[in-house]
Every structure is written in C-alpha cells, then in structure tokens.
C-alpha cells in the first residue's frame, strides 16, 4: 500500500514538474513572439536622442569648468502621421542643478503642408530659438545677446500651432501660426528692478486672453540656400486686477490694458561654393519688442515713473568651413564670427545697452560632435539700478576665452 502511494506520489510529482516545464516553455515562446512582433511593428518607434555641451570659460577673474547643457530629446512616432516629442533641459551652473521642460508636444500631419501641434511648443519667432539653439547646431557655446531664457524673445509656451512647408514654383514657403498662453508683465512687486519686463515662462496664464503670432519664411532659390523670414507676436500680458489691490495709495496702478507687440526679421544663407572650396554660412536676426506705456512704482522711494518700453536686439553670424579641400584634417575646421547687440528701455530700472563680438575656430570630429574654441568681448553701458553686477556692464569691457565640446547624441 505504501509502495503504491509512493509510486503515485512520484508520478504526480514528475507529471507536475513536466507540466510546469511545459508552461514555462510556453511562456518563453509567447514572450519571444511578442518581442519579435514588437521588433517588426513598423507603426511605432521610440527614440532617445538629445545633445550636450561641456567646457571651460576663462575670464580675467576666474577659470571655470562647466556643463552648460545636457538635453535628452524623446521622440515617439505612431504611424506615419503622429509624433510626440519632448526635450528636457538639464543644467548644472552656480552649484545648482536645474531641470526644465524645454518642450513637450504632439504633432499630427493633417495633409501635405499642414502639421498641427499641441502642447508646450518652441515658439517660431525668428529662427534661433526654434532651430539653432541645440548646442551641436549653434556654432558658438553661447546664445547671441537678447536670445535665451533671460532674453527679450518668447522661446517656448503652451498652446496650439499650425505649420508646414509649401512648394511655390521653384521657391518654397514655410509658415507657422500659433496661439499660446502668452507672457506676463513684471509689475515690480516681486522683482522691483525688473518692472515692465516681459516674462515668457508661465505654465499658467495670468489672464483670459491668448497670445497669437506667426512666422513666414520664404526660400526663393530651388536649392533652399537662402531663407528670409518675418515674425510677429501680439499679447496682452497684464492681469485683470491691480497687483497693488488693498494698497489704497497705489491700487490705481493697473496693467490690464497693456499690450505687447513683437516683430522679428531673420535671414539665413548656406551654400557650398566650389570657388572658395567650402561652405559659407551666414545667419542673422533682428528683434523689436514694443510694450505700451504704463506707470510703475519704485519701491526704494515709493515714487512713480514711466518709460517708453521698447527693446531691440540683433545678431549677425558668419561661418566658413573648407569642406571641399583634399586635406582630411583641414576640411573639419570651421572659422566663425558673431556680433550681437541688445538694448533695453531707457528710463527703466533694467536699462542696458550691450554689445558682444565673438570669433572662434571649431573642429568637427564627426558630423554631430564639435570642439568650439572662441574669444568673446562684451561691452555695455547701464542706466538702471538692476544691472550693476552684469559682466560687460557699467561701461566696462570684459573678455572671455571659451573652449567647449558639444555633441548631438
């Protein structure tokens, strides 16, 4: 009897083990099938790309190693028409780690020449902020004056955009129309020395109107070597209520009717020219910002003041790479030069008049990795009390030597 029980038990154990083995084998086979299916699915693709920059800045007072950017870019394609993309901006500067969402949006190709985007978009105002800001695309390790997160231009915002490219005979036209939350006017309650400045970094709108804008680019030649673009942007940046509500002396100060109108013109010419055995690359952008007049409060002496709130900036950039010469080393060098100017309103507490000239020599290790060596001279005059500590201000000239390596990952 005992033998029968042992035999039966053994049989059950063997059968159970075999059954379990079969189940595990089935599961492995199913997983293999799933992985194969995933590999072969042409409708979806996920990529992690991005760019980074690391380098050294040498000024007269200090020499700093710094990691100026590490920006992973996520791309997720679903089918032939839908794309989700986002960029994370990581920085480590002044002993602080910063993480910012550069953009995150979904785009859908509606038809030939029409793409609709929703989410946090790069604002197509001029070309630098949208197209040339990645460190491996920018010929220099810094942005031109007036451009960037502390500049006078909108860089990214939440909203909707319609854009595309159209063939016009031999020429080509690119267009972008957008509607976004828009900027906020700094009223001076948080940062008194920046009263009247526009702040474009707003996750939440401060009023119930939207900013609208557009850019048109025209490429007259069939080889797309020249692009001329114009951009416009309109917003009402004030809140409905006075920032001084409750303060009987100042609650009449209100910015609800303040308007902001911005214009930009941009040009880019890139051409491989046999005569000079290389590629010539010329870029430029001119920006104007007009904010309507308003009265602000100086917190130091509680007096009121007003000023013509007009900013302007521009840059011109020239690059030459002898890409057609026979020497394999020489063809990877690139000579670059850039001049930029940034003027802020006279009469404001943030008045400044800055200019910067930068010359450099780049070496391309591969198509997406570059060593940038440049020398930068900044000059400026300031009238506002808020600009005292900026390099190149107070009528002083400063210079800096920069070496950076940038790569598109």
- In the shown chain, the binding pattern of residues 153 to 192 toward another protein, with x for contact by CB under 8 A and - for none, equals ----------xxxxxxxx-xxxxxx---------------
Determine which residue in the list 54, 244, 363, 364 makes contact with another protein, applying CB under 8 A.
364
339, with CB counted inside 10 A (0-12, 13-18, 19+), is middle
Question: Which residues 6+ apart lie within 8 Å of 165 measured at CB?
Answer: 113, 172, 173, 174
Which residue's structure tokens are 């951009």? Answer: 231
What residues numbered 292-351 form the site for another protein, per CB under 8 A?
none
377 binds another protein, rule: CB under 8 A: no
**Residue 142 structure tokens:** 């810094």
Distance in Å, CB of 214 to another protein, minimum: 6
Distance of CA 19 to the CA centre of its chain: 58
Distance in Å, CB of 242 to another protein, minimum: 24
β partners of residue 282: 269, 318
407 binds another protein, rule: CB under 8 A: no
CB atoms within 10 A of CB 306: 12
Question: Which residues 6+ apart lie within 8 Å of 338 measured at CB?
Answer: 139, 140, 144, 315, 316, 317, 318, 356, 357, 358, 359
Distance in Å, CB of 293 to another protein, minimum: 13
Q: Which stretch binds another protein (CB under 8 A): 152-160, 306-314, 343-351, 364-372?
A: 364-372
Residue among 216 and 381 whose Cβ is closer to another protein: 216
Determine which residue in the list 23, 29, 189, 222 makes contact with another protein, applying CB under 8 A.
222
217 binds another protein, rule: CB under 8 A: yes
**Residue 334 structure tokens:** 């690139």
Determine which residue in the list 21, 25, 30, 223 makes contact with another protein, applying CB under 8 A.
223
Dist. CA 149–CA 25, nearest whole Å: 56
Residue among 103 and 307 whose Cβ is closer to another protein: 103
Residue among 220 and 391 whose Cβ is closer to another protein: 220
Q: Which of 32, 77, 70, 28 has the alpha carbon at shortest distance from 50?
A: 70
Question: Quick one: which H or E segment has residue 254?
Answer: none
Residues in touch with another protein (CB under 8 A): 42, 45, 47, 75, 77, 80-81, 83, 85, 107, 109, 112-113, 115, 117, 130-132, 136-137, 163-170, 172-177, 214, 216-217, 222-225, 227, 232, 234, 259, 261, 268, 270, 272, 279, 364, 367-368, 408
């Amino acid at each position: 009897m005992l033998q029968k029980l042992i035999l039966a038990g053994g049989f059950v154990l063997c059968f159970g083990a075999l059954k379990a083995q079969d189940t595990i084998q089935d599961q492995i086979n199913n997983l293999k099938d799933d992985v194969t299916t995933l590999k072969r699915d042409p409708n979806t693709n996920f990529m992690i790309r991005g760019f980074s920059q690391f380098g050294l800045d040498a000024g007269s007072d200090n020499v700093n190693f710094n990691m100026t950017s590490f920006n992973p870019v996520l791309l997720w394609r679903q089918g032939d028409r839908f794309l989700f993309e986002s960029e994370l901006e990581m920085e480590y500067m002044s002993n602080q780690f910063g993480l910012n969402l550069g953009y995150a949006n979904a785009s859908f190709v509606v038809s030939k020449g029409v793409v609709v985007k929703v989410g946090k978009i790069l604002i197509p105002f001029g070309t630098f902020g949208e197209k040339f800001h990645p460190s491996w695309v920018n010929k220099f390790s810094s942005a031109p004056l007036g451009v960037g997160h502390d500049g006078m231009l909108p860089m990214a915002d939440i909203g909707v955009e319609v854009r595309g490219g159209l063939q016009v005979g031999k020429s080509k036209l690119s267009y972008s129309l957008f509607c976004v939350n828009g900027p906020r006017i700094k009223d001076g309650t948080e940062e008194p020395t920046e009263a009247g400045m526009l702040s474009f970094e707003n996750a939440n709108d401060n009023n119930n109107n939207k900013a609208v804008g557009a850019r048109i680019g025209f490429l007259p030649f069939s080889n797309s070597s020249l692009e001329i673009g114009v951009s416009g942007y309109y917003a009402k940046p004030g809140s409905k209520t006075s920032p001084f509500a409750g303060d009987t002396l100042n609650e009449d100060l209100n910015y609800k009717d303040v308007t902001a109108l911005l214009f930009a013109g941009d040009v880019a010419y890139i051409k491989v020219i046999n005569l000079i055995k290389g590629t010539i690359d010329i870029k430029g952008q001119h920006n104007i910002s007009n904010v309507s007049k308003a009265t602000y409060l100086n917190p130091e002496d509680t007096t009121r003041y007003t000023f013509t709130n007009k900013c302007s900036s521009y840059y011109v950039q020239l690059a030459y790479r002898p890409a057609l010469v026979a020497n394999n080393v020489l063809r990877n060098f690139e000579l670059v030069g850039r001049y930029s100017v940034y003027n802020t309103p006279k009469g404001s507490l943030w008045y400044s008049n800055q200019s910067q000239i930068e010359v450099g020599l780049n070496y391309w290790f591969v198509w997406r990795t570059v060593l940038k060596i440049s020398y930068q001279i900044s000059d400026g005059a300031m009238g506002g009390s808020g600009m005292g500590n900026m390099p190149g201000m107070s009528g002083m000239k400063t210079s800096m030597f920069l070496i950076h390596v940038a790569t598109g990952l």
